[in-house]
Amino acid sequence: MLKGFRDFILRGNVVDLAVGIVVGAAFTTLVTSFTTSFLKPLIAVFGGGEVGKLGASFRIHGQVFDWGAFLNAAITFLITAAVVYFLVVYPMNELAKRRKLGDAPPPEAPSEEVRLLTEIRDALVRQAPPSAPEAPPVDRL
C-alpha cells in the first residue's frame, strides 16, 4: 500500500498536476484568510485608520494609493513562496539527490585484456635496468 502511494507521489502526470492545483487553491485560501484576518489589521494599526476605511493609504489629487493592500499582497506572496519551497521543492530536491546516489552504477572491473596488459607493463618495469638520466636534446642544423 505504501509502495503504491510512493509511486503515485513520484510519478509525474496529469492526475498529480490536478492534485497539486487543488492543494494549491486550498493553501491560497488559507494564506489569504490569514493575511486578511491578522496582517491587514496589523498594517492598519501601524498605517493609521481602520481596515477598509483608507487605512494604510494616502491620497494625492483625489487618487487613493493603498500601500497597505500592496504590502499585504507582498507578504502573502512571500509566505506562499516560502511554504512551497520548504515543504515541496526542497524535500523533492533532497529525495532526487538520494535516489540519484542510490542509482549510481558500481565501478566496472577492468576487462581481461586491460588486466593482462597491466600485468605485462608491471613485469617489464620490474625487469628494466635503472636508466641513466636523459641528456638534453641537441639542436642539429
Segments making up each domain of the chain, as ranges: 2-127
Per-residue pLDDT of the chain in tens (141 residues, 90 and over written 9): 777 777 766 666 656 676 778 878 888 888 888 887 887 778 777 766 655 555 667 788 888 777 777 887 888 888 888 887 888 788 888 888 887 887 656 667 888 888 888 999 999 888 877 666 666 666 665
Give residue for cell 558500481. 106
Give residue for cell 593482462. 116
Superfamily of domain 2-127: Large-conductance mechanosensitive channel, MscL; domain 1 (1.10.1200.120)
8 A C-beta contact, residue 71 and residue 56: yes
Which of 10, 17, 3, 75 lies closest to 46, judged by CA? Answer: 75
Q: Within a 10 A sphere around the Cβ of 55, how many other Cβ atoms?
A: 18
CA 33 to chain centre: 28
Question: What residues have CB less than 8 Å from 39, skipping those under 6 apart?
Answer: 72, 75, 76
Q: Within a 10 A sphere around the Cβ of 76, how many other Cβ atoms?
A: 17
